[in-house]
Amino acid sequence: GAVVSQHPSRVICKSGTSVKIECRSLDFQATTMFWYRQFPKQSLMLMATSNEGSKATYEQGVEKDKFLINHASLTLSTLTVTSAHPEDSSFYICSASGGDYGYTFGSGTRLTVV
């Protein structure tokens, strides 16, 4: 049990466009979902925490108007990178709590903005 599905796994978009990344808990209800960003050969940096039905809490330095997070149900959270620029290129990973094992991570999304 405790599977988190993240899509897409890889996306390339043009500068100025928006990209949506989905994170779904498949076999449990995720009370809280987390979004992380990981630069090459670096650690995971928490971007925001979202609880179902309420506004996300963003970490210091993360632009909430740039990284829109929606957590409309107990099994789905989305991260939309708006007006993407090359510096937004990164590996984005979601995780969900509420399963048997604390925190379950998605497989990540490699975003490349050209």
The interface mask with another protein, positions 64-93, x = CB under 8 A, is -----------------------------x
C-alpha to C-alpha distance for 49 and 29, rounded to whole angstroms: 16
C-alpha to C-alpha distance for 81 and 61, rounded to whole angstroms: 15
Shortest separation between residue 33's beta carbon and another protein, angstroms = 12
Shortest separation between residue 16's beta carbon and another protein, angstroms = 26
Q: Which of 13, 44, 62, 68 binds another protein (CB under 8 A)?
A: 44
Cβ-contact 105, 5 below 8 angstroms:
no
**Which residue matches tokens 């590996």?**
91
Q: Which value, to the nearest 10 degrees, does the dihedral of the CA atoms of residues 62, 63, 64, 65 take?
A: -160
Q: How many CB atoms lie within 10 A of CB 56?
A: 21
Note the Cα 84 to chain centre separation in Å: 15
Q: Rule CB under 8 A: is residue 98 a binding residue for another protein?
A: no
Q: Which of 49, 70, 80, 112 binds another protein (CB under 8 A)?
A: 49
- Nearer to another protein (CB atom), residue 15 or residue 42: 42
Q: Rule CB under 8 A: is residue 42 a binding residue for another protein?
A: yes
Positions in the binding site for another protein (CB under 8 A): 4, 6, 32, 34, 42-44, 46, 49, 93, 95, 97, 101-108, 110
